[in-house]
Amino acid sequence: MQLYNSLTRKKEEFIPIEKKKVRFYSCGQTVYEDAHIGNARTYSYWDVLVRYLRWRGYDVFWVQNFTDVGHLTDDADTGEDKIIKTAIAKDIQPMVLVEKQIRKFYEDMDKLNIQRADIYPRATGEIPEMIEFVKDLLAKEYAYEVNGTIYFDVTKFSNYGELSPTTYSEETVGARIAVNPEKKDPRDFALWIKAPEGHLMKWPSPWGMGYPGWHLECSVMSQKYLGTTLDIHAGGIDHLHLHHPNEIAQSEARTGQKFVNYWIHAAFLTVNGERMGKSKGNFILVRDLFKEFDPMVIRLFLVNSHYRKSVDFNNDAISQNQVLLDRIRTSLAALKQANGGKEKVLRESITRVTTDFIQAMDDDLNTVGAIQAIMQFVKSVNNAFDNERHLLAEASDLIVTLMGILGIDLHITDVQGVIPLHSLISLIIVLRNDLRNIKQFKLADEIRSKLIDIGIQLEDKPEGTIWKFKS
């Protein structure tokens, strides 16, 4: 498989450290507010990557963190802690906010069929490890203390900027010097931050009461569970220029070994052509989308563009994906009912879609190509209901499998009891018509009134009988 490695700025063959094992870390949510559609897009791709690698036989161990302390409103080590700020505004303890937001995060991701990582470490759960990390860097003189805050000294680390050579423009350097006179170099960043009087989340350390720097957290949480060198580290493109270079610097300074072999970054999502922003009123939360759209249609939209290209969310885009999903579901329903025949031409289509799917996915996770291959296959299937029954079954399973790798669960509506309910009522409606046909009007009328008792209302319309829940 080829992956575009942000570190080398080119597509490279993916070769894990240990054969068929993948150590994968993705930057997770800062749990102070609900997940928005941009978050969901990014996490959807990491889910697809994990599902695909596992399908190809890799043993993937996936860690994704929750940031519940230390992520400041301003990246230049100033500003307020996002969790604390929000908790104070809501007049609750920070950990009550964290608890609620993590629960909502899981609810949203579960609905989008984004599978869970193997471990979700929380920054507050790894404080001792973070302190040890900082002690090591001080001992190796990669860090220095100023008034209880520890900074990483980027000038000591020769490879700083390997991932992102253009991190600091003249302009930002100027701004940062002005902001923080404690730093020797404007690019230096805080590993451990002295807690001001009254600060809500803080821990004892050799340098007094403080809290970890946001960049430090990811290095600790990833390496604790995945080891010194990770195969893949994923994150949003916004982390390419500061968070990830800092992760590399502190990790490699400490261990003297490569931190990550493949860095992958997901692009942004825009809404009706504009970048999302709270002030713009176009900030779309995942949970709000569920009020309007089938979660699986949203999920298909989220992965139906290349992860390194930005995509626009708009009603047309959703409609187009709704059409695709309907086409697939219709085909699956037809496959289920088809009697089959003696043709065998589907064998060839099955081979082709598998090859095309793999070829697309192997090309830097080209999910668009993968979906096109599936749609092409659906077209073939729709002309092949005269094929042998086992081929029809195989085709059906394959569609479900391939869509499943993209995170679109085609089982969902079957298992939830929605279908049985609908089917049962349809069966009763047919029976009622049968009874009328054989002039058993009393029994037929009883059906109607008994359904009302259960809470279901039948309505006879010219085009047939429909049902709805009694309001």
Applying CB under 8 A, which of residues 158, 450, 466, 468 lies at the interface with a second copy? 450
Reported for 97-103, long-range contacts at CB under 8 A and 24+ positions apart, including other chains, are 97/31, 97/32, 98/31, 98/66, 98/68, 98/122, 98/124, 101/29, 101/31, 101/32, 101/33, 101/34, 102/31, 102/66
Applying CB under 8 A, which of residues 55, 203, 268, 283 lies at the interface with a second copy? 203
Any contact of residue 122 with a second copy (CB under 8 A)?
yes
Rule CB under 8 A: which of 258-277 touch a second copy? none
Residue type, 103: R
Cβ neighbours of residue 362 closer than 8 Å, sequence gap 6 or more? 1, 2
**By CB under 8 A, which span of 94-102, 173-181, 345-353, 380-388 interacts with a second copy?**
94-102
**Token code pair at residue 155:** 């000038």
Any contact of residue 421 with a second copy (CB under 8 A)?
yes
Rule CB under 8 A: which of 123-182 touch a second copy? 124-125, 127-129, 132
Any contact of residue 443 with a second copy (CB under 8 A)?
yes
Pairing of strands 189-194, 149-152: antiparallel
CB of 127 to a second copy, least distance (A): 5
Applying CB under 8 A, which of residues 333, 382, 383, 460 lies at the interface with a second copy? 333
Element holding 80 (H helix, E strand)? strand 78-81
Residue closer to a second copy, measured from CB, 129 or 185: 129
Any contact of residue 257 with a second copy (CB under 8 A)?
no
Element holding 2 (H helix, E strand)? strand 2-5
Residue closer to a second copy, measured from CB, 13 or 91: 91
CB 346 within 8 A of CB 397: no
x/- track of binding to a second copy for residues 281-320 (CB under 8 A): ----------------------------------------
Residue closer to a second copy, measured from CB, 175 or 418: 418
Residue type, 310: S
Residue closer to a second copy, measured from CB, 334 or 350: 334
**By CB under 8 A, which span of 72-80, 122-130, 230-238, 403-411 interacts with a second copy?**
122-130
Q: What are phi and psi of 364, to 5 degrees?
A: 55, 45
CB of 287 to a second copy, least distance (A): 16
HEC assignment per residue over 372-436: HHHHHHHHHHHCCCCECHHHHHHHHHHHHHHHHHCCCCCCHHHHCCHHHHHHHHHHHHHHHHHHH
Any contact of residue 96 with a second copy (CB under 8 A)?
yes
Residue closer to a second copy, measured from CB, 18 or 434: 434
Whole-angstrom distance, CA of residue 397 vs CA of residue 417: 21
Applying CB under 8 A, which of residues 181, 417, 462, 464 lies at the interface with a second copy? 417
Any contact of residue 93 with a second copy (CB under 8 A)?
yes
Q: What one-character DSSP code corresponds to residue 115?
A: P
Any contact of residue 116 with a second copy (CB under 8 A)?
yes
Residue closer to a second copy, measured from CB, 119 or 284: 119
Whole-angstrom distance, CA of residue 113 vs CA of residue 107: 10
Applying CB under 8 A, which of residues 389, 427, 466, 468 lies at the interface with a second copy? 427
Rule CB under 8 A: which of 21-80 touch a second copy? none
CB of 60 to a second copy, least distance (A): 13
Task: Look at residue 282 and give its three-state secondary structure.
Answer: coil
Whole-angstrom distance, CA of residue 180 vs CA of residue 199: 20
Task: Look at residue 459 and give its three-state secondary structure.
Answer: strand
* Binding-site ranges for a second copy (CB under 8 A): 93, 95-96, 99, 103, 116, 118-122, 124-125, 127-129, 132, 203-204, 225, 333, 337, 414, 416-421, 423-425, 427-428, 430-431, 434-435, 438, 440, 443, 447, 450-451, 453-456
